[in-house]
């Protein structure tokens, strides 16, 4: 069974049915046996970028798209924060660092196009 964590781009590409999402990644996300997680941090990052005019999430309630797509919301715990704070400085984006920490703690495969995730030894499904 796949246990996936979608990064913000992948989550938005999924919602928009974008061709940017590779067939292999789309199939893994659509697999009915997969547990697909979307972090609270992903929603936060999307909304910050939307407020800055850098993207359009397509809905005012992007958070509701998690359950609507059969995904699981992944809250941020104190242990996630502790783990993120201890990560080596390969990646400076605090949102991505939290996703990496969550993937490590929860043993999740990150679905991402970000090559810097590889430096942390987490399982990656490239998009």
Whether the pLDDT of residue 91 is over 90: the answer is no
Q: Give the integer Cα–Cα distance in Å for 84 and 105.
A: 10
pLDDT of residue 114: 87
Q: What is the largest CA-CA distance in the chain?
A: 37
Q: Give the number of domains in the chain.
A: 1
- Name the pTM for this structure: 0.95
Domain range for 94 is: 3-126
Note the pLDDT tens digit of each residue in 24-51.
Answer: 999 999 999 999 999 999 999 999 999 9
pLDDT of residue 115: 83
Q: How far is CA 103 from CA 9, 29, 38, 41, 121, in A?
A: 16, 16, 11, 12, 10
In 3-state terms, what secondary structure has residue 125?
strand
Q: CATH no. for residue 112?
A: 3.40.50.1010
């Amino acid at each position: 069974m796949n246990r996936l964590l979608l990064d913000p781009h992948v989550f938005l590409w999924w919602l928009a049915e974008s061709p940017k999402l590779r067939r292999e990644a789309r199939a893994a996300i659509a697999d009915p046996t997969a547990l697909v997680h979307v972090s609270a941090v992903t929603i936060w990052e999307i909304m910050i970028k939307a407020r800055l005019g850098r993207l359009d999430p397509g809905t005012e309630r992007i958070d509701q798209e998690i359950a609507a797509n059969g995904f699981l919301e992944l809250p941020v715990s104190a242990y996630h924060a502790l783990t993120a704070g201890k990560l080596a400085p390969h990646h400076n984006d605090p949102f991505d660092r939290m996703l990496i920490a969550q993937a490590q703690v929860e043993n999740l495969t990150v679905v991402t196009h970000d090559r810097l995730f590889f430096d942390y030894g987490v399982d990656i499904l490239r998009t």
